[in-house]
Structure formats: C-alpha cells, structure tokens
C-alpha cells in the first residue's frame, strides 16, 4: 500500500512539475540527489539526509549561479546538480573513480 501511495504521489508531482518548471529540471531534481547520496552511503537514513542536502545544494548553487551569470535558472540548477554529481562520482569513498584507480593500481 505504501509503495503504491508513494509512486502515485511521485507521479502526480512529476506531471504537475513538468508544466511549472520544465522537463530538464524535473528529471534533474528527481535523479541527481538520489544518485549522489547512493554513491556516498548504503544506509537508507543517511541516504535520505544526503539526498535532501544535495537537492538543496544544487538548487542554491544553481540559483545564485544563474543570477551571477544572468542565465536560465532551471538550466543552472541542472548544471549545478551535474557538477555535484561529477565531484561525487570522482571522490566517492567506495564507488568513486579515484578509488577504483587506486585499487586497480595497488597489487
């Protein structure tokens, strides 16, 4: 029951948000915070907290970046989320790119 309730709420939110902010920002804000949090931890409670922090950070950095460079706010928020994901992917302690290179290089 809870699964179907959550899926219904996410669907309603996504469909309503497409008209309000655009498809790129909706997809970016649904995917990037969760993926970044998953790269950092395997515990659900920590993952939810990290996901919220990544969402807030990409919104803040994107908004202030858009004001600074005088560009589209939704595009800047998506770009900020992409940059946060790139740094998380490179420096993740367990699944990161640097971790894989150092593990492959050491005998």
Output the tens digit of pLDDT for each of the chain's 107 residues. 999 999 999 999 999 998 888 889 999 999 999 999 999 999 999 999 999 999 999 999 999 999 999 999 999 999 999 999 999 999 999 999 999 988 888 77
Question: Counting every residue, how long is the chain?
Answer: 107
Q: Is residue 33 part of a domain?
A: yes
Residue 56 lies in a domain: yes
Instruction: Report whether 10 contacts 18 (CB < 8 A).
Output: no
Q: Which residue has the tokens 């908004």?
A: 63
Domain of residue 43 covers 22-105
Asked if residue 44 is part of any domain, the answer here is yes
The total number of structural domains that make up the chain: 1
Report the predicted TM-score, pTM, of the whole model to 2 decimal places: 0.87
Residue 9 within any structural domain of the chain: no
Report yes or no on 15 lying in a domain. Answer: no
């Amino acid at each position: 029951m809870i699964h179907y309730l959550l899926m219904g709420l996410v669907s309603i939110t996504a469909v309503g948000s497409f008209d309000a902010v655009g498809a790129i920002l909706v997809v970016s804000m649904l995917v990037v915070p969760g993926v970044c949090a998953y790269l950092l931890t395997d515990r659900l409670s920590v993952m939810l907290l990290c996901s919220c922090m990544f969402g807030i950070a990409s919104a803040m950095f994107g908004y202030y970046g858009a004001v600074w460079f005088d560009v589209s706010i939704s595009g800047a928020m998506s770009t900020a989320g992409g940059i946060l994901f790139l740094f998380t992917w490179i420096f993740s302690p367990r699944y990161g790119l640097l971790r894989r290179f150092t593990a492959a290089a050491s005998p």
